[in-house]
Structure 1
C-alpha cells in the first residue's frame, strides 16, 4: 500500500471540499498536525481514513487507490494531476486544442476570465464554483512551475479538426459575448495556435506534438509514466475551447488493462499524425486561411510520415 499516494488523494479531496485543514481535523476528531501527517504519507489508522471518506464524500477504495479513483470535482482532478506530474518521467497527453503545460503566457493570463465566464450567473452555489476557479488557477500555477523546473518528456496529441474549430470559435468561456470581445478572443486563439506551431518548429526533443486527422475520444486522457508504474487519468474537465470545471467525473487508475488499451490509442493515433515540419506547415496554412470572421475553410492535410512513440 502506497501511503504517500493515499495522502495525496486525501489532500486532493480535502481541497475539493472547500474545507480548511483545521475544519477537517475538527470534524473527524484529530489534530491538524495529525491530518497533515496523513497528507504527507505517514501511516494512517483505517478508522481515520474511514472518517475522512465519510466527510469528504469519497469511497474508501478510492482513497486507498483500489481499482478506479473517481473525482467528481475539477479541483481534486487538477490537484491529482499536479501530484502525478511531480514524479512523472513522461507525460502522454491526448487533449485539445490546448494542453496547459505547453500553453502560452497569453492563455494563462486569459484563463481566469474564461473560467469565470463558464460559470452561469444563475447556477446554484455560484460563489462556491467561483471559489473553485481560484483553487484551480492556484493548482495550475503550481503545475506550470513544476514543469518548468523538472521538464519531463511530453507527447501531446491534438485533433486537427479541434484546432480548426478553435480558430473559428475563439477562446471563449461562453457563447453570448459582445462582438468586440469575440474578436479579441479570436485573436487569442490565433496566438495560441501560432504558439503551438512555434513549439513544433523549435524541435525540442522533450516535446513531441502530433496533429491527429482521425477521430479521437471525446474525453481527453493522460498517461503519467514513472520508473516503477504508470497512471492513466480520463477527464471531462477542460481549459481550452468551451472550458468546463463544473460538470463530470474524472477517473484515475493504474490497472494494466486500462493502460494497455489507452496506450494503443496513442500508438495508433501517433502513427498517422502529422508531425514536425508537416504539422507546422499545416498550422501555418490554417492560420493564413483564417480571418477575423468565422470560417469553415481548412487547408489540405498533407500525408503524414510514420513515427513510433
Structure 2
C-alpha cells in the first residue's frame, strides 16, 4: 500500500473537483480568499499548508481524505470523474476495463456529436432554466474529447471488454436521452448505433497496435470499472456513469482507489472475463450476426452503395 503523499495527484484532484462544481479558477480563488496564482500553484501540486487543503475541501464539498487520496477517493459528479480519468490516462501505460457499450476512447468521432444531442435531450427543460445543466454538459464533453485526442496521440495499450448484452440493447434502442422521442429520431439513432458497432468490428479486424477488444457473453457487473497501470502503481476506477444506451451523467458516486484488495479482486474479474471473451475472427463473426439480427437497416449505407 502507498504510504507517501503524491502532491501532484492532490493538485489534480483539486482541479477535477473544481471543474465538477462548475467553478473557474478565479471563482474558487475568490471564495477561498487567495490569489489566482496561489490556486494555480496548488493545482500543480505546490501545496504548502494543510490549512489550505482543509479550506479547499470544505469549499468543494469533499472530504480532506478524499482530496488527499487516502484510502478511497469519492467523486460525485460525472464532470469531475471524467477529468480524473483524463489525468490518470496521461500517466498510464495500459488501460484494462469493462465499459458500456465500449470504451469511449475507442468510439468514432461521429459518436461525440450523437452523445451531445443525447445528453442535451436528457435534461428536463424545467431543470435548465438558467442554462447551468447545458453548461455542465458542454464542460464534460470538452473533457471527453480531450481524453480521446490525448489517447490517440499517446497510444497507451488498451484492453476493452465489451458486454454482448450491452451491444444488443445499443442496437435495439440506439443512444437516447429519453423515451418520448419521435420514431424517426429513434430510427436514426439506431442507424448510428449500427454504424458504431460496425466501427468496433473494423477495429477488431484491423487490429491497431495496442488495441485489444474482447466480447463478453456472460453476465457482467452493473457498474463499469477501469484499471490504469502506471509505472509504479495501478489505479482502479469504478463508475456508475454511462455514456452508452440510456446514458447517466447526472447521479452517482464513482470510486477511485489503489487499495491492494480492491485492485486484486478487479484484476481477477478482468482476467477471467478476458480469458472467456471472444476475440479476433470469432468476435467479428459474432458481432456481424448480432448487427444483422438486432440492427436497423442503414439507409445511408445503401445510398452510398
Using structure 2 for the length normalisation, give the TM-score. Answer: 0.93
Q: Name the residue aligned to 1:140.
A: 144
- Pick aligned residue for 2:160 from 156, 159, 163: 156
- Pick aligned residue for 1:199 from 197, 200, 203: 203
1:238, 1:244 within 8 Å by CA — same for their partners in 2?
yes
Q: After the TM superposition, which residues 240-255 of structure 1 pair with which residues of structure 2 at under 5 Å, given as runs?
A: 240-255=244-259
Question: Shift of residue 124 of structure 1?
Answer: 7.1
2:191, 2:295 within 8 Å by CA — same for their partners in 1?
no
Question: Shift of residue 121 of structure 1?
Answer: 2.6
Q: How far apart, in 1, do the equivalents of 2:279 and 2:158 lie?
A: 14
Q: How far apart, in 2, do the equivalents of 1:50 and 1:262 lie?
A: 32
Matched, 1:178 2:178: no
Q: 1:40 to 1:198 in 2, by over 3 A?
A: same
Q: 1:44 to 1:114 in 2, by over 3 A?
A: farther
1:200, 1:280 within 8 Å by CA — same for their partners in 2?
yes
Matched, 1:32 2:43: no
Question: Shift of residue 98 of structure 1?
Answer: 2.8
Question: Shift of residue 83 of structure 1?
Answer: 0.2
Q: Name the residue aligned to 1:299.
A: none
Question: Shift of residue 132 of structure 1?
Answer: 1.1
Q: Name the residue aligned to 1:260.
A: 264
Q: How far apart, in 1, do the equivalents of 2:33 and 2:124 lie?
A: 37
- Pick aligned residue for 2:74 from 42, 50, 70: 70
Q: How far apart, in 2, do the equivalents of 1:203 and 1:74 lie?
A: 31
- Unmatched 5+ stretches in structure 1: 294-309
Question: Shift of residue 70 of structure 1?
Answer: 0.4
2:224, 2:240 within 8 Å by CA — same for their partners in 1?
yes
Question: Shift of residue 238 of structure 1?
Answer: 1.1
- Pick aligned residue for 1:95 from 96, 99, 110: 99
Per-residue displacement from partner, 1:198-248 (whole Å, max 9, x unpaired)?
Answer: 001112241110110111110101010001011100111111111111010
Q: How far apart, in 1, do the equivalents of 2:235 and 2:24 lie?
A: 28
Per-residue displacement from partner, 1:103-137 (whole Å, max 9, x unpaired)?
Answer: 01111121111111122233477732221101101
Question: Shift of residue 19 of structure 1?
Answer: 1.6
Q: Secondary structure at the match of 2:126?
A: coil
1:68, 1:253 within 8 Å by CA — same for their partners in 2?
yes
Matched, 1:114 2:91: no
Using structure 1 for the length normalisation, give the TM-score. Answer: 0.92
**Paired positions, count:** 293
Question: Shift of residue 289 of structure 1?
Answer: 2.3
Q: 1:291 to 1:246 in 2, by over 3 A?
A: closer
Q: Secondary structure at the match of 1:237?
A: coil
Q: How far apart, in 1, do the equivalents of 2:97 and 2:131 lie?
A: 31
Q: After the TM superposition, which residues 11-26 of structure 1 pair with which residues of structure 2 at under 5 Å, given as runs?
A: 11-26=15-30
Q: How far apart, in 1, do the equivalents of 2:12 and 2:195 lie?
A: 35
Q: Name the residue aligned to 1:56.
A: 60
Per-residue displacement from partner, 1:32-70 (whole Å, max 9, x unpaired)?
Answer: 101000101113310000000110000000010001000
Name the Cα RMSD after superposition.
Answer: 1.3
